Amino acid sequence: MAMKSATPIDALTHGVIQAGLCTGCGACIALDESPHSLMQDTHLGPIPAWMADSRLPLWSTQACPGLGVNYPDLYQKHYGHYPNQWLLGEIQSVWTGHASDPAIRRIGASGGVLTQVLVYLLETGKVDAVILAQQGRPTPEKARAVIAQTPEAILAGAQSIYIPVSMLDLLKTLEPQKTYAITCLPEQSAALRVMQQEGFAPAMQVQYVVGLYTGTALYPAAISCFLRSRGIREDDSIQSLKWRAGEWPGYLEIKTESGRIVRSKKVYYNFLIPFYITQTSLQSMDFVNEFADLSVGDAWSPVFEAQGVGHSIIVARTQPMASIIAEMEREGWLSLEEEDPLKASDMHGHMLDFKKRGGYLRNQWRRKMGRPAPDYGYRPAGIPLSRVLVEIVISSLFVVGRTAWARWVVARIPESIIGPVFNTLRLGWKKLSRPTKRKGLGDFHVDIST
Ligand SMILES: Cc1cc2nc3c(=O)[nH]c(=O)nc-3n(C[C@H](O)[C@H](O)[C@H](O)COP(=O)(O)OP(=O)(O)OC[C@H]3O[C@@H](n4cnc5c(N)ncnc54)[C@H](O)[C@@H]3O)c2cc1C
């Protein structure tokens, strides 16, 4: 008797959700025929909750970042060709800069560029509304995708959110006649592009994808660990939370019911990363949001860091988006400097390597151990042995850090100690591993799986 082939829901349930690989993007919920299925909060971030009448189209598995979106294939379909270089993806123009309006620059995570672009798209009628992420919905420590129809609502969504937020399930609720822009992390942009290629109607209403460079995100439990390390009692509930409050690069700021306000510099609360880094952050091979029309990250450079005000790195991947950014500069919305793409990539060499080569190695190792891992359809050419050895050190740190006992210990070390100690170790390790991690990155090539 022939075996009944697995449905997409079976494939996603076993190969992604139970394997701990769900990125929480929400694409499958948007595609589900059931009007009742939804993304539900878990300790691993949002994951799909199917209903008895759930049914997905067969192609939905190709849009799932947990299984892996085939990047070479998507490049051919979306851009019509492979990227002009594989390290940074397809590029029309690169700038560093910030929103010209100081208030928007200040509330943004880096230079307020994304917020300013979204306001511009709305105010010039290029879109009817914007889908963005907002911290504090439905409760202060959580975050949700929301639809903003006014500049004020866009400003309310400024800042980065470092816990997983499902963005694409909201596609299910779009008004059919309207056009939208959306903010996406890299896996969400890629999933959305597959949905557009397959002609999924709500995805076709999205005119602009504005993307964030994405290094590491944290599981929600990182917040309680941080509070514990600052001596906050469990019953002292959170009243507000900002991940990048104040001047760039900003600090985590949490206000509690008892009136306590705790702040931690971004470089200090990074100590949470080895203990609470999401699985998606480890498996992803896309740092620079290769399928967004516009990708924006922090412009880390000694010159900008010395100024202490936000600067972004801004990459336009399509001609229409490059024209919009140039228009915004001409009209005084953005202050920009054009940059050489490869020189600009030096600001993020470590994270580019962490994703492109580290992500590939980590996925390979999982597969060798018989565990599912996302397949991006290509592999970096010629990874040196020294880089493999460095990855063994990095991955071991994450394996140990994410155990229950390591998390128990770290929550009991005051943040005033672990923050600076971790930062010193991080900078030391960066310096030590820099030659290995940068070796061959300037000449990055890939082999495409067939
Ligand atoms: C998890 C995460 C990791 C990151 N890692 C890096 C890194 O390693 N290196 C680097 O250079 N930059 C990184 N960034 C990007 C950086 O933090 C800034 O978001 C980016 O520079 C844009 O700044 P901005 O001031 O232009 O954005 P803003 O003007 O503050 O606008 C940000 C927009 O993005 C939306 N948004 C915020 N968080 C999310 C989210 N989780 N999902 C979907 N939409 C969201 C907001 O709603 C807002 O509309 C990361 C961002 C995130 C969310």
Tens of pLDDT, residue by residue over 113-122, are 999 999 999 9
Please report the pLDDT score of residue 309 as a whole number. Answer: 93
Of all protein residues, whose CA lies closest to atom 12 belonging to ligand 1? 297
183 φ, ψ to 5°?
-95, 130
Tens of pLDDT, residue by residue over 7-65, are 999 999 999 999 999 999 999 999 999 999 999 999 999 999 999 999 999 999 999 99
Compute, in angstroms, the gap from residue 20 CA to the centroid of ligand 1: 24
Compute, in angstroms, the gap from residue 185 CA to the centroid of ligand 1: 8
Q: What kind and span of H or E run contains 284?
A: none
* Cα 214-314-22 angle, rounded to 5 deg: 20
The residue with tokens 């008892």 is: 258
The rounded distance, in Å, linking the Cα atoms of 399 and 16 is 19
3 band by pLDDT with thresholds 50, 70 and 90: very low
Compute, in angstroms, the gap from residue 215 CA to the centroid of ligand 1: 10
What's the average model confidence in pLDDT over 310-331? 98
2 band by pLDDT with thresholds 50, 70 and 90: very low
Tens of pLDDT, residue by residue over 250-290, are 999 999 999 999 999 988 999 999 999 999 999 999 999 99
The mean predicted confidence, pLDDT, of the chain is 95
SS3 131: strand
Compute, in angstroms, the gap from residue 214 CA to the centroid of ligand 1: 7
SS3 295: strand
Which range among 49-53, 220-224, 270-274, 434-438 shows the weakest confidence by mean pLDDT? 434-438
What amino acid is encoded at 255 in this protein?
K
Please report the pLDDT score of residue 1 as a whole number. Answer: 42
Of all protein residues, whose CA lies closest to atom 8 belonging to ligand 1? 215
Please report the pLDDT score of residue 450 as a whole number. Answer: 62
47: left (phi over 0), alpha (psi -120 to 50) or beta: beta
Report which of 265, 271, 235, 236 is spatially closest to residue 252, judged by C-alpha positions: 265
Of all protein residues, whose CA lies closest to atom 4 belonging to ligand 1? 214
The residue with tokens 């699985």 is: 279
Which of 212, 315, 346 best tests ligand 1's pocket when mutated (most atoms within 8 Å of CB)?
212
Tens of pLDDT, residue by residue over 368-393, are 999 999 999 999 998 999 999 999 99
Asked whether residue 180 carries a pLDDT value surpassing 50, the answer given is: yes
Of all protein residues, whose CA lies closest to atom 37 belonging to ligand 1? 160
Is-contact 312 97, C-beta < 8 A?
Answer: yes
Compute, in angstroms, the gap from residue 430 CA to the centroid of ligand 1: 22
Of all protein residues, whose CA lies closest to atom 50 belonging to ligand 1? 214
